Structure 1
């Protein structure tokens, strides 16, 4: 067997093993050293192949597909700094618990650390930011090589998709020549399948949880962003059974499609309510049960830290459970599942007046939030208008910083099918555009809107390159307040010296030229009364860029006025 035949068998074995283990999507950043694998992926009918020449954007693009499908997505790049540019998205994938299979092509061993071009040390390049890493052998004719590949890929995909989901890394060295013979059929596998188990709690854990619930007079549930693929029906059944107040973050997606019989328990305005000291005193809880990540709300975290519930029970699929405020008293290692509704629960001990305190205050806050767009015309009013008018069966991807906080404030429970997504693993504003465009590829049956600030848009404007390589459909809504709006709410804003230079960071940029560059429909909105243009399409262009101009200082004043109106009525 000659070198070309050996290389061909090797790369098609990689592809076949990935397909065998459930991979459907591959994102390629073209380059020379990855040529053999790129050819093999591109010539395989079993895969959806996407292209993005900017590796940093490509990695977030793959992250978006994986978030949308809750399935592993493969990333492929050449050697050198191309691999380093994957790093930000890999960090996000680790902390957001998203399954990525990262494949970096590499120089052969004899070209490492000797001054060869485009050769860096790629062994364990991503350190502890990946769940597992493996160095593949050079393609050769050895009997053990292909079985090694089969089983290592099975291990890698299993690790990426075992809770908590996360990224894994394969480093694959190639010698020249890099050409292969194209094959129509994938090689047969000697390793046929692997089965990953579900994580369920022990009987002892279930007894502890049931006992805590049955003894509780005053308690509430927190639902943050849940693990990919979580069954929301199980959460709704648990809520019906407990009949406790449920503080639902927007990213939990429990504020939409709300069953009518669960509506009395849903508390969406907790961030505004917990700014009020008297209200906090009235709703101190004996027991708190949390599913998913810690919510965005700073005031909820402060409340839990100050009140220290006797039982703070965290239910998480990772033994490294999330508890940044260090107030948890119990941890249960489990996925959301039917076990929740098999608990032996008796809620007769629960204080119904406690639920009413939350319910009545929620109604006060909801009233003021519904009136907000009639009183104000700032970014919050824009967000409220957007949420009220989003089409049914649509998704909203949201940038970190102010947009996600405004969504959390202004998204009220609704019977509409609207789902909210964001990159909240590392909470960065980089890669948001790329992730959203990738997300749109994974849920083509739904309409996708992206809400993003001007600085986050600038961070990732290269994301739009991918729209030149594959069909994309997305409406990008840029809130342009000329700088970093969130800092206006923080202590830095009280120090006027250097504020604009270091934190406001205005650029005076507008984005019509960007829209023209990528053949996007462009809509410019200067005044609140022009917002009807958000949903009035002039043509069938699948790419829309809507730029809404706002004022940072006006935003702060309007938000604080809302909180004051709620505070006054609560008092």
Structure 2
């Protein structure tokens, strides 16, 4: 059934949503993309935002799908594997164009808030590989147009971020550049998971990326990351200042790491990266910002802490014996993340973020990508 469905559509995309077992799907998804000529729009939590031979893996589809270029390149079909994607522009793009939509859903979750699915399949990666063997890749230039647009987007993003101070987008990009092979990245809900989706790029060395999507908001993120680190995997967790405060107990859990004599791995290798933007600034990206009274907005939605995360982390470090570092540049962040280490315990890295500058930079990044691909839609017709 999937074979006939895919063969009937030339301009399709493969969407990979959150999957804890995405590694198991990598070979099958790559084979399908090569055989169909479809690009792969994979969020990092799918475990498929990685370099795959012969596959166009987009790094910046979150930004591309906000542009006129994307609406001039509507898909005939979408094949989704995994959970509901984090990327809102992707959902809206699919809703606008209503392509044929196949959902490979072996767990029978049927997560489809937009009611877009037209073909629901409970098959595994072996069946997807079998389908790939029946397809002939069309020479339409469809995947190459996506590759060219994504390259333009990457150049626009780099041009802006390389010239400006360290803000949230640069932190997300740097995590992908600097974390060593064999490392795990845990990302908080709110802005961290969205920034990682927008700015973390495909790597030759796979990076395990985890998040509590749809489970508990910003609660328990450090505790969950501590659990990953307790398995023996060096782990970095990216949180905002409110998520940091919501799970200070997770640092106690890290402090009380199960010793090796009880089946643990001894000291953890856990790095907590805290971007301190002065409260829940994700709400400032919503339409309500600038419309309702600013004082009420800050009191009810931003909930700014009384003291900085750096002050809090410094006091906790003195009390609990972990390392605290306060930084302000990509070079400093790279040096800390890329340095080899084993069972080095717990580190907390705090980064002060100007919320107004950060919001403005996100807007300008979207504008820069739109400008970079402007006109490309007319050349592709």
RMSD over aligned CA atoms reads 2.2
CA contact (8 A) 2:229 2:268 kept: yes
Cα separation, partners in 2 of 1:268 and 1:468, compared to 1, 3 Å: closer
Partner of 1:503: 301
DSSP 3-state at the match of 1:415: coil
What is the deviation of 1:540?
A: 7.5
**Structure with greater contact order relative to length (CA < 8 Å, sep ≥ 6):** 2
Bigger Rg, which one: 1
TM-score, normalising length from structure 1?
0.59
Unaligned runs of 5+ in 2: 258-266, 375-381
DSSP 3-state at the match of 2:104: strand
1:307 & 1:485 partners in 2: Cα distance? 31
1:289 & 1:403 partners in 2: Cα distance? 26
DSSP 3-state at the match of 2:49: coil
State whether structure 2 residue 155 is matched by structure 1 residue 367. Answer: yes
1:456 & 1:397 partners in 2: Cα distance? 13
What is the deviation of 1:563?
A: 1.0
Write the deviation string for residues 132-163 of structure 1: whole angstroms up to 9, x where unpaired. Answer: xxxxxxxxxxxxxxxxxxxxxxxxxxxxxxxx
What is the deviation of 1:302?
A: 0.5
For residues 139-538 of structure 1, the aligned pairs below 5 Å read 208-228=1-21, 231=24, 232-256=26-50, 258-262=51-55, 265-276=56-67, 278-309=68-99, 311-334=100-123, 336-343=124-131, 345-348=134-137, 350=138, 352-377=140-165, 378-426=167-215, 428-442=217-231, 444=232, 446-470=233-257, 471-494=267-290, 495=292, 496-509=294-307, 510=309, 511-526=313-328, 530-532=332-334, 534-535=336-337
TM-score, normalising length from structure 2?
0.87
Partner of 1:546: 349
Q: Which moved more, 1:529-538 or 1:286-295?
A: 529-538
What is the deviation of 1:528?
A: 5.4
Write the deviation string for residues 40-70 of structure 1: whole angstroms up to 9, x where unpaired. Answer: xxxxxxxxxxxxxxxxxxxxxxxxxxxxxxx
Aligned length: 355
2:48 & 2:128 partners in 1: Cα distance? 17
Cα separation, partners in 2 of 1:359 and 1:302, compared to 1, 3 Å: same
1:538 & 1:299 partners in 2: Cα distance? 38
Write the deviation string for residues 230-284 of structure 1: whole angstroms up to 9, x where unpaired. Answer: 613232233333231111111112123x23333xx212211101111x2123221
State whether structure 2 residue 364 is matched by structure 1 residue 561. Answer: yes
What is the deviation of 1:532?
A: 4.7
1:466 & 1:385 partners in 2: Cα distance? 27
Q: Which moved more, 1:531-540 or 1:487-496?
A: 531-540
Cα separation, partners in 2 of 1:540 and 1:457, compared to 1, 3 Å: same
Write the deviation string for residues 457-495 of structure 1: whole angstroms up to 9, x where unpaired. Answer: 111111122233324220111111110121121123222
Write the deviation string for residues 325-352 of structure 1: whole angstroms up to 9, x where unpaired. Answer: 1111110112x3212122262335x462
Partner of 1:16: none
Partner of 2:263: none
CA contact (8 A) 1:316 1:331 kept: yes
What is the deviation of 1:427?
A: 5.8
DSSP 3-state at the match of 1:266: coil
CA contact (8 A) 2:157 2:368 kept: no
CA contact (8 A) 1:250 1:407 kept: yes
What is the deviation of 1:530?
A: 4.1
What is the deviation of 1:542?
A: 1.4
CA contact (8 A) 2:22 2:47 kept: no
2:117 & 2:148 partners in 1: Cα distance? 28
Unaligned runs of 5+ in 1: 1-207
CA contact (8 A) 2:42 2:58 kept: yes
